[in-house]
Structures are given as C-alpha cells and as structure tokens.
Chains A and B, each alone.
Chain A
C-alpha cells in the first residue's frame, strides 16, 4: 500500500463527517482506499511531457502503465457537424473531437494535464469545457471559453481518481449539452484498474428535435421540448443504432467486460441495464467504491459509472435504459454480442419468454371470439379474420414487430411491405409455428435474433393474425385458413393445441 494509516483516518473522517467520525475510524467498514483530493498530489510532473492518445467511442485508450506523475497534453477540437441520429434522420451535433460522445480521455491520478481546447474555424459558436475531474472554479469552463478559429489552454492537476463527465458550459448550456457536447475522462488510480478482456465506452444522451421520432430529413434542435424535458430521442453514443448490428460491441464467452458508461443528459437520469447480464461489479457514480451483483444502476445526468461482468453464455445482450419506453420508442438500445460455445448448464437457450405473451385485454377478445364463432358457423369473412387478427397481433406480435409492423432496426425484422412475405405468403405460417432463429434477410437488411415458436396460439388465431398481416402495410393480401395452419402443424410435427387456451 502506498498510503499510510494517518491518511486513512483523515479520509474516513471526511467521509463519515461530524460526530460519526470516531465510529468510522475504528470500524472494520472504514474504506480501504478512499478518494480525496488531498492525497492525489504526487508532486510535480516527471519525465518528458506525454501527448494523450484519445479514442472515439466505443473504444477506450489502453490502460496507463506509468508509475509516476507526468505532464499530459490533451488536445481536443470542437467540431460542429451534421451526423445521422437515426436512419434517414440527420442532426447538427456539436462535438468534442467529431463524435458523440466526445473523445475518451485517460490520465493517471496526480498527472498534470495541459488542456488545449480548439474551436474549429468553420464553427459558428463559441465553446468551452467543464471537466468534472478538475478541481477549480468552473471545472475549466471560464479558462477555456474559445471563439471559432481559436484555441485556449489551461492546466490542472488530476487530484481525484474516478470516471468523470466533461461537457460544454457555454450559454445556453442546455443547448450545447443537448447538441452532444459531452464525454468522459477517466482518472485512473495510481495502481491502475484490474485487468479485463474488454473495455468499452458508452454514453447516453437525450435529444430534442422539432420533428417527431424518426421523421426523416434534417431535424433542428427544439428548445421548447428541451425545456419541457420531452426528448424525441434517447440514445447511446449519439445515434439510434450506433451500437447494434455490425457496430455491436463484441466479446467472447468466459471473458470480463468493463463498460465505462456516462450520461450526458441534458435532462434524463438513466436506469442502465444489460438484458441478460448481471453486473458483477459496479463502481457506482464513477467513484471508488464497489457494489456487487447489480441488475440496474442509476446514472445521473452529468454522471458516470464503471460496470464489470463476466460472460458465460453466448448470444446478444441488449444494453438499455430500463426506463423502458426510451429503449423501444426513443432509441436507447445497444448490443453486446458474445461469441462462444453454449453452456446449457447455465442457460438452456430454449425457453419461451412468457411475460409478453397472452397479454390481451378484454375488449380485444370480443372480436376474437366473434371470429371463432363465425368460423364454427362457416360464415367467417376475411374482414372478421383481419379484425380478430389485429387484436391478437396487438397483444402478441406488436411487442417486437411494433404496432405499425415496422419492427425495430437491426433487432426485429419488419412485417410491413416485407419482401420475405411477398416471396412466399405461406412461409409465415411455419415461422409462427416453429419460430425462427438465426440469420434472415428482410427488405435488404440482415437480422440475427430469435423468435420463439408461438405454440400458445391455436389454428384459428394463427390464421387470423396472418390474414391481418397479409392485408396490412402494403403486403400482398390474401387469406390464411385454420386448415392450412393445421396441416402445417402436422407437417412440422408441431403439436397443436386445442382451441381456447
């Protein structure tokens, strides 16, 4: 240990505060290596100045191997540029380093950081930077106020270890942050962080556009919605789909993954969760202490967290803000793909997710039972089937394929104007009965996920749902009968259920 017991006591007192201090001193729960700026000064910088190598998200600079404090030169350029925020939707982002979030900065506690902020000559706005890892008024903001085509320099000593947000603090602050002006700086403890197999950089942000969610074209910033805190988009790494499909994070089974996750805001607090994983370790709020076995961790706006987990089971793990409408209706969804051999002792990989199924309210069932009666009396029309099918679709299918049949990019294929359906209108029968796993190309895009067999649906219901789908959203039309479904069940050796379940 580099630290003496005296320091421990001081820090413990600072943490416990007031009358509880004496209790904390003698307590076995007294923190082992608390932070604290008073112990982060390791003297003047040594050796030759070092130029920090910054990385664009989701990459993280390599761990620091130095064992002495250095002068580290950081050069960061502000660039105002148009980038996609969703497919077919562009937005003018104000960026630190050309990306949202901005470049990842990694220094060592005790380093003297010589910071150069450059404002690209083509920019329209003045900008500055407030690094939450700076000790000093404004976090550097007033010292870095920079007109377009100019450069500012200031220097600080990184006294506190931890993961810190940086952001622009120029008027109007909310607009600068809302346009993407934030990123993370990691101030590593002198002994470094534990070695892991992968480190990634993910940062959430909320965005406010005058157009609706996914309204095509260039979308300007909407101040009214920003003030009302009603975002159009909530995304990871500056765009919907920035970390899905080919751009998904990757790992192998039996590896340890560390995520540096920030939340730029400007408004929302994130309930960060990885579907299918449990965080083995969470350094909550980006600080020094560790929580273990965490499902969902809260990341304040202007805050950050380090999470670690070990991978056991291959597959796709979805990173979400578990304020869940943000994930499925505003874009807060990213993906980690884990490759490797199955381990059925840990996860069978075959179980149907029953939570979302059978979720049908009473009014919907009225049209469903009407269709069932019509089928029995032999008077069933296509319209009956479509009505019943729509009710069933909304209860069962729309969770993934969406009520408008558009699916979710890179995750759930569209049913609307689907070339797969057009090519073989009967194929969906088999898909419903048997499920569909693995790669499938729909409307020129490849999808690779799992649809479980809808074995809880009876023949009538399957026929009605598919008739609805065939007659909706520009699909070719036509009709699927319960007989056809029944035959397909037989052919595929899929056990049918009796009507009514």
Chain B
C-alpha cells in the first residue's frame, strides 16, 4: 500500500523504477527529462526561460482509494482528527465516513484535500509535490508532442474544460489523455496542487496597480499578444493562487513527483 512499506527511491539507487513496476498497487512514476522552456511565469518576470532538472512524475493523479489507504495508515489525517490548521472544514467531506468511501469513488481523483495533506501523502510515497515549473513542463505536452502549447486546438481543449462547471461526476483517473511522457490527466480532470504554489505571484486583482512585477505577470503578461496563448495555463495559476494551504475544494487534487530520472547509476 502506498505509504506503508516502500523502498526509498533516491538518486544513486538503481532498479528503482523496476521496484515500482513489480510492487503491487504501487504508484507508477514516469521519467521526464527536464530542460529549459518558456513559462507563463518567467523566473525574471520578463521572459527568461525557466529550467527544470530531470524528474519523475506520478503517471496518475492520486485517487480516493490511494488516499484512503494513506489515511488508514496515518489516522492523524482522518477528517475527524486532522488539525484545523492543516485542513478546512470541507476536507474529505465527500467521503461517507472518515475511513470509508463509496466504491464508485475509489478510482476517482481525490479532491477536497489541502496542500498540507497532499504534501504529507507524497512524503508517504517517498516523493513530494511537483514544483510549478515541473508541472507546467509536463503539462505542455499533448499525446504526441513534448510541447503542444502553440497548437490552438490543444489550447481550445483545455479552455473547454475550464468552461464547464463541475456538476457532473468526475471521471476515474487514467480515463483521460495519456501524454507524450505517459502521464495521464494533466488537463481536463482536476486542478492539482504544486509544492511551491504559495509563491506563484498572481494577485487577487488581475490588474494589480501596486507591484510592477505583478503587472508584468498578470496584466501585461496575460494580455500581450505574444503571451495570449498562455491564457489556458495562466488560469491554473490563478486558481492555485486563490487558495490557502489549508483550503480544500471539489476540484483540486494532486499527484506527486520525485527527483532524478530514475535510472541514475
């Protein structure tokens, strides 16, 4: 079960991926080579490329079933026992009981989880939340290309999901698009926490008049012609920046990441 017994996976240990592959029920991680790319949030606020080191990303978002196992193993994360500092009143509110879920929920992505809870879960998988740049890098892919962001059809597909309110039942994890890196559901399923979400510099007011850097990011950046394609990605940033670390919503889930490519020797 995730988080109970797991080989520590760290750079320098080989056969790491193999170990995951044979371990029943273990989450699968796919290697992502990293590199430098143009982010919606340039590191210098102007347009310098962001760089990402090789890392591995969980191929599936964490499911209710996964998270239930974690909560059973770590009862301090039960909704009736969690410290209010770490999760708001809606934490896991969609479950039947603190350690019981509807079977139909088992393979749906877990939502109503706080950043703190997501961070703790990933530690249980000897992993961590991905950084924003890691997420953005992996999310730039479509089925066949590492970077599909210039494709209007790809952007349209993302925006179309944004435009639908989430009143319908959430699909199961893995039912959506598998991208170039063999990662599922990077778009079109749920929003996802990232480890450094709190440092995403988007202000509550899109047209913030105070900080020129903010204006760069949010106002000018989003609206200038060269960046207008990034609308779709920027909206993910906007959502994350509206959240506190203890907040939970019906649409925010997560997946985990690990350092290294997994085949270092």
Report chain B residues within 8 Å CB of A125.
162, 235, 238-239
The answer on a CB contact under 8 Å between B159 and A169 is no
Q: Which of these, A81, A148, A169, A223, contacts B231 with CB under 8 Å?
A: A223
User: B164 contacts A148, CB within 8 Å?
Assistant: no
The interface residues of chain A lying within 8 Å CB-to-CB of B204 are 128, 138, 141-145, 170
A82 is an interface residue with CB less than 8 A from chain B: yes
User: Does A240 belong to the interface (CB within 8 Å)?
Assistant: no
**Chain A interface: which of B18-26, B57-65, B117-125, B245-253?**
B245-253
Is the pair B251, A169 in contact by a Cβ cutoff of 8 Å? Answer: no
Q: Once bound together, how far apart are the Cα atoms of A80 and B223, in whole Å?
A: 23
Binds B, one of A171-179, A190-198, A302-310, A311-319: A171-179
- Minimum CB–CB distance for B112 against chain A, Å: 9
Say yes or no: is B147 at the interface (Cβ < 8 Å to chain A). Answer: no
A499-B258 Cα distance, complex, nearest whole Å: 88
Given contacts A128-B204, A172-B234, A173-B207, A220 and B159 within 8 Å (CB-CB):
yes
- Selected from A82, A122, A138, A146, the residue in CB contact (under 8 A) with B205 is A138
Task: Give the residue name and chain of the B residue nearest to A82 (CB).
Answer: B165
CB-based contact B162/A124 at 8 Å = yes
Contacts of A179 in B (CB 8 A): 163
Q: In whole angstroms, what is the CA distance A73 to B246 when docked? A: 27
Known A126-B238, A223-B159: A169·B207 in contact at CB below 8 Å? yes
> In the bound complex, do residue A147 and residue B231 qualify as a contact, i.e. CB atoms below 8 Å apart?
no
Contacts of B156-210 to chain A: CB distance below 8 A: 156, 159-160, 162-167, 191, 202-210
Binary B-proximity of A103-123 (CB < 8 A = 1, otherwise 0) = 000000000000000000111
The chain A residue with its CB closest to the CB of B163 is: A92
Q: With A124-B251, A137-B209 given, is the CB distance from A92 to B238 under 8 Å?
A: no
B242 within 8 A of A: yes
> Given the complex, which residues of A lie within 8 Å of B242, measured CB to CB?
126, 145-147, 170
A120 nearest in chain B by CB position: B165
Contact between chains at B156 and A210 (CB < 8 Å): yes
User: Contact between B250 and A149 (Cβ–Cβ < 8 Å)?
Assistant: yes
Q: Which residue of chain B is the closest to A223 with respect to CB atoms? A: B231
Does residue B131 face the partner (Cβ distance < 8 Å to A)? no
Q: Give the CA-CA distance A68 to B31 in the complex, in Å.
A: 67
Q: Give a binary string over B80-92; 1 marks a CB under 8 Å from any A CB, 0 the rest.
A: 0000000000100
Q: Which residue of the partner chain A has the closest CB to B191?
A: A124
A144: which B residues are within 8 A, CB to CB?
Answer: 204
A227 within 8 A of B: yes
Q: Is the CB of B249 within 8 A of A220?
A: no
Judged by a CB distance under 8 angstroms, whether A427 is at the interface is: no
Residue of A nearest to B230 (CB): A172
Task: Determine if A221 and B228 form an interchain contact, defined as CB atoms under 8 angstroms apart.
Answer: no
**Closest B residue by C-beta to A219:** B163
Interface check B243, CB cutoff 8 A:
yes
Instruction: Give the shortest distance, in Å, between B211 (CB) and chain A (any CB).
Output: 12
Minimum CB distance partner of A130 in chain B: B205
Chain A residues near B208 (CB-CB < 8 A): 138, 142
B90-101 toward A: CB 8 Å interface, digit per residue (1/0)? 100000000000
- The verdict on B141 contacting chain A, using a C-beta distance below 8 Å, is no
Contact check, B205 vs A141: say whether CB atoms are below 8 A apart: yes
Instruction: Tell me if A212 counts as interface (CB < 8 A to partner B).
Output: no
CA distance A142 to B166 in the complex (A): 25
Whether B165 contacts A169 by the Cβ 8 Å rule is no
Q: For the complex, give the distance between the alpha carbons of A150 and B204 in Å.
A: 14
Which residue numbers of B lie inside 8 Å of A, CB to CB? 90, 152, 155-156, 159-160, 162-167, 191, 202-210, 218, 222-223, 228, 231, 234-235, 237-239, 241-243, 247-251
A-B contact list, 30 entries, CB within 8 Å: A81-B165, A122-B167, A122-B250, A124-B165, A124-B191, A124-B239, A124-B251, A126-B241, A126-B242, A137-B205, A138-B204, A138-B205, A142-B205, A145-B204, A147-B242, A147-B243, A147-B247, A149-B250, A150-B249, A169-B207, A170-B242, A171-B206, A171-B218, A171-B237, A171-B238, A172-B206, A172-B223, A220-B160, A221-B163, A224-B152
Other A-B contacts than A137-B209, A147-B247, 12 sampled, CB-CB below 8 A, are A92-B164, A92-B165, A122-B165, A122-B166, A124-B191, A126-B241, A128-B204, A142-B205, A147-B239, A173-B207, A210-B156, A221-B163
Can you list the 9 inter-chain pairs with the closest CB atoms, starting with the nearest?
A: A145-B204, A126-B242, A141-B205, A80-B165, A138-B205, A142-B205, A171-B206, A147-B242, A142-B204
